[in-house]
Structure 1
Amino acid sequence: MPINITMPALSPTMEEGNLAKWLVKEGDKIAPGDVIAEIETDKATMEVEAVDEGTVAKIVVPAGTAGVKVNALIAVLAADGADVAAAAAGEAPKAVPAAAPAKVDAPAAVAAAPAPVAPAAPAPAVAKGERVFASPLARRLAKEAGVELSAVAGSGPHGRVVKADVEKAVASGVAPKAVVSASASASPTSTAAPVATGLSDEAVLKLFEQGTYELLPHDGMRRVIASRLTESHQTIPSYFLSIDAELDALNALRVEINKGAPMRKTEHGDAPVFKLSVNDFIIKALALALRDVPLANASWTSSARVLHKHSDVGVAVAIPDGLITPIIRKAELKPLSVISTEMKDLGRRARDKKLKPEEFQGGTSAVSNLGMFGVSNFTSIINPPHASIVSIGAGIEKPVVKNGEIKVATVMTATFAFDHRVIDGALGAELASAFKRYLEKPMSMLV
């Protein structure tokens, strides 16, 4: 019996991916666990394993195809002993998804060649208080576009509104939902104002003379970054705290540790096993501070605060036209040398888009460091499920007063962003103070 292989969901937020490479060809026999393809998501390139045994009867989506939707048919497998030619012709298929990573549940596959569905008629207005069934992504897109979900025709199962329905509604000019401004709410006779959604693409381009610009289309990563950060900025009540820390003791200790690092032989000669950076100390300091102030090592849900038992620290890494935040797990328990080695490996694979989902999803807080660019201070947007992020500026020599005398010290400004639903002001200040204490007394990170 033919078995349909569909595009798997390689992360909870994945909507589509690029089929980068087939590692099998038509006629090849495969077994469960065999790697059959490489899929590029917005964050990483991942291998896909077979879940059934049989012969590859037909490759439907060629290598190099971009924007393949989750659950789309990508290949047909003839079950062991079945007629390969009949399977390639699509006789009596059953649909199964390609294997996804163990920690991600692959969605149910769709049948190949479904019967054509007539376009849905415009949905009638939903009575006030009646529930509208829609996917989470569709709800978010409708909110961003200011579209009332009750006015959108749902094409999903049982009339469920999905992403494509919202996009179609926006393109067709469905009236945006009305909201009452603060001033209007005070007056019963005031009229509702539409949600401001910014200039349209066409309106933006009209402001510039043709030929003076070029268009760089958004890739999947840029769209995900824009969506998540917009959602974070609009839904998380953030506040910011800045604190200065002197780095002279840390810099001196770092030099001494690096001098004493064991050596190993390489093809280019002897090289140290590790070389600590200031950022390694910053990761460790944040991890220990979160351990010392456990109420700040938390995430928000509508029913409870999630108090984490370990400090899983994300570190923002710039990659071509985007960024990703690989995570150092249980960083409070790891020596600086291990943190340094892990971070170099994660950073390299992040830039090559080779991270696994569990290596960049989750975490309890994050570090964003722009000090190497000479930036003195800045603020960052919190990346849920984190409730905090610390922005690190450059270490700059400044005059400071010590015991009534002016001295010169290397001072770094760290600016924390906190989710006020989880971390109140005093708690945030306590975490920032603990972080500063570890940086200024770095020997405490070694014991």
Structure 2
Amino acid sequence: MASLFRVPEVAAGATEATLSEWVVAEDQAVTADQTIVVIETDKATVEVEAGQDGVLLRQLARGGETVQVGAPMALFGTESERGADVDALLAGLGVLSGDGPATPAVPAPAAMGSVHAAPEPETAAEPEVAEEQAAPAHARSGSPAPAAGPAPTGGRVFASPLARRILAEAGIPLHGVTGSGPGGRIVRKDAELAVASGRTAPADEPAVAAPPPAAAPVPAAGTRRPAPAAGWHDEPHSRVRRAIASRLTTSKQTVPHFYVKRTARLDALLDLRRQLNEVSATRISVNDLVLRAVAVTHTQVPEANAVWTEDAVRVFDSVDVAVAIASQRGLVTPVLRDVDRTAPSAVAATVRDFVARADAGTLAQRDLEGGSIAVTNLGMYGVEEFAAIINPPQSAILAVGAAAPTAVVDDGVLAVATVGAFVLSVDHRVVDGALAARWMAQLVRNLEQPLRLLA
């Protein structure tokens, strides 16, 4: 029986996403675990599975469109419904079909699982999305899609937002890439192929000669020349940068932050790291050991392993810790699971996998959800200490500064030790000052006696 495939809530609280590209064509049979469409969120490119066996009878949204969470995105059916009147099937499901994206004729019921219909205020679409939405629709009334072909050498060039970003980062113009999508549209694989081959604009593309500069008028005697304009240029906001700005602004405006600072001697930790790396197949960093120390501290001070909700303080049984990664696509904070029960080498391997997938844009949404605390480290840049902004709904974030040789006093004797600074940003609604101080004291003990991390 025909059913609607709706846009899932691929990001917590999101009301829209960008449909990057369809992986399967119309009238193609799919299995439940088969990826059928790629959706671009603010932080990752998410591959969405069909969730059911059947036939994709019609795509109800085009690649490059901004689609509302809960909106119909495709029509599924059975083998017996191939060749059926798709418009009639859509009408029977309460969806109007025309030349544009399908829209519900009546409020459609929410789909299973993670799909939640949500109203979205009118906002201006991003330029690259708005440009593509002006493209003529195809395959909405049964007409065949135009054959793929090279992108036109002049005028508008259609490309998915992800493909545009990949080409822009590589400095490759759209006119220099051949699109394999409908109507010559450039999709991700075209952009990746162009980058891999080092392709640039076609050699036979005529260069446009710049007009000769106009002669500057000679000012009359006694008049002042205008001051030259200041040099500057605008870098358009990416979706990731907009998301980061919105999320962190909301955090500072709505979450009552306070900060606790401690220093810790790290000589024993550095020595343990050296010994572990002598036997570990995966290189372990100081940050990997800090992540492990944070998790162990949460087991020792479980009241801090909590987040704020509107109805209660939610205390977790497992210890999941997020790690801030400055990827090529922007800042992301994937979450490591059960870190309190994970060996340092396994923590290191997971973090490296997250870094690779963050750069490739293949982090799944589940990788970005959960946890009560995050760790962010700028020590490798020589930053001595800093205070970070909490990433809601988490209740804390630990900022790690650079470790450096420092004069210390042991029993009245001056000595030199490797000391690092740690600043904990805390949500005061969840964690009080005394609790935060107790947590930090336990963290310092774990860092200065690192065998605790192996127990």
Q: TM-score, normalised by structure 2?
A: 0.68
2:266 matched to 1:247? yes
The equivalent of 1:20 in structure 2 is 20
The match for 2:121 among 164, 172, 175 is 164
8 Å contact 1:317–1:347 — kept in the other structure?
Answer: yes
Aligned counterparts of 1:67 and 1:424: Cα–Cα separation in 2: 42
The match for 1:278 among 286, 293, 309 is 286
Question: Deviations along 1:23-48, whole A, 9 cap, x unmatched?
Answer: 21123223433321222212222222
The match for 1:415 among 418, 423, 434 is 423
Aligned counterparts of 2:87 and 2:231: Cα–Cα separation in 1: 49
Distance 1:295 1:57, change over 3 A: closer
Aligned counterparts of 2:442 and 2:390: Cα–Cα separation in 1: 20
The match for 1:218 among 238, 246, 269 is 238
Could you say what secondary structure the match of 2:435 adopts?
A: helix
Counterpart of 2:102, as a letter, is A
Counterpart of 1:411, as a letter, is V
For 1:51-130, list aligned pairs within 5 A.
51-63=51-63, 65-84=64-83, 86-87=85-86, 92-94=91-93, 112-114=102-104
Aligned counterparts of 1:211 and 1:90: Cα–Cα separation in 2: 59
Cα deviation, residue 407, structure 1: 1.4
For 1:262-273, list aligned pairs within 5 A.
273=281
Distance 1:80 1:293, change over 3 A: same
Question: Deviations along 1:212-239, whole A, 9 cap, x unmatched?
Answer: 31241331x2232222211211111111
Could you say what secondary structure the match of 2:81 adopts?
A: coil
Counterpart of 1:216, as a letter, is P
8 Å contact 2:61–2:102 — kept in the other structure?
Answer: no
Cα deviation, residue 93, structure 1: 4.4
Cα deviation, residue 445, structure 1: 1.4
Aligned counterparts of 2:345 and 2:375: Cα–Cα separation in 1: 18
Distance 1:396 1:40, change over 3 A: same
Could you say what secondary structure the match of 2:32 adopts?
A: coil
For 1:367-378, list aligned pairs within 5 A.
367-378=375-386
For structure 2, the residue ranges without an aligned partner over 5 or more in a row are 96-100, 108-116, 125-227
Distance 1:19 1:286, change over 3 A: same
Distance 1:88 1:229, change over 3 A: same
Distance 1:38 1:281, change over 3 A: same
Aligned counterparts of 2:90 and 2:339: Cα–Cα separation in 1: 53
For 1:194-343, list aligned pairs within 5 A.
212-219=232-239, 221-261=240-280, 273-343=281-351
Aligned counterparts of 1:344 and 1:95: Cα–Cα separation in 2: 47
Counterpart of 1:356, as a letter, is A
8 Å contact 2:396–2:426 — kept in the other structure?
Answer: yes
Aligned counterparts of 1:91 and 1:446: Cα–Cα separation in 2: 59
Distance 1:281 1:84, change over 3 A: same
8 Å contact 2:7–2:72 — kept in the other structure?
Answer: yes
Distance 1:114 1:355, change over 3 A: closer
8 Å contact 1:316–1:325 — kept in the other structure?
Answer: yes
Question: Identity percentage over the alignment?
Answer: 36
Cα deviation, residue 94, structure 1: 2.2
The equivalent of 1:120 in structure 2 is none
Could you say what secondary structure the match of 2:5 adopts?
A: strand
Could you say what secondary structure the match of 1:423 adopts?
A: coil
Distance 1:18 1:47, change over 3 A: same
Aligned counterparts of 1:6 and 1:423: Cα–Cα separation in 2: 39
Distance 1:51 1:434, change over 3 A: closer
8 Å contact 2:27–2:82 — kept in the other structure?
Answer: no
Aligned counterparts of 1:6 and 1:307: Cα–Cα separation in 2: 33
Distance 1:251 1:7, change over 3 A: same
Aligned counterparts of 2:7 and 2:320: Cα–Cα separation in 1: 31
Q: TM-score, normalised by structure 1?
A: 0.69
Distance 1:385 1:401, change over 3 A: same
2:362 matched to 1:354? yes
Could you say what secondary structure the match of 2:91 adopts?
A: coil
2:449 matched to 1:441? yes
Aligned counterparts of 2:66 and 2:355: Cα–Cα separation in 1: 26
2:55 matched to 1:36? no
Could you say what secondary structure the match of 1:340 adopts?
A: helix
Cα deviation, residue 369, structure 1: 0.4
2:412 matched to 1:404? yes
Distance 1:212 1:62, change over 3 A: same
Distance 1:3 1:251, change over 3 A: same
Distance 1:370 1:5, change over 3 A: same
Distance 1:320 1:402, change over 3 A: same
8 Å contact 2:265–2:417 — kept in the other structure?
Answer: yes
Cα deviation, residue 436, structure 1: 0.7
The equivalent of 1:133 in structure 2 is none
Aligned counterparts of 1:210 and 1:74: Cα–Cα separation in 2: 48
Aligned counterparts of 2:3 and 2:86: Cα–Cα separation in 1: 8
Aligned counterparts of 2:397 and 2:260: Cα–Cα separation in 1: 11
Instruction: Indicate the larger mover: 80-89 or 345-354.
Output: 80-89
Could you say what secondary structure the match of 1:92 adopts?
A: helix
Cα deviation, residue 51, structure 1: 4.0
Aligned counterparts of 1:296 and 1:91: Cα–Cα separation in 2: 51
2:397 matched to 1:389? yes
For structure 1, the residue ranges without an aligned partner over 5 or more in a row are 97-110, 118-156, 169-207, 262-272
Aligned counterparts of 1:443 and 1:233: Cα–Cα separation in 2: 37
Aligned counterparts of 1:53 and 1:313: Cα–Cα separation in 2: 36
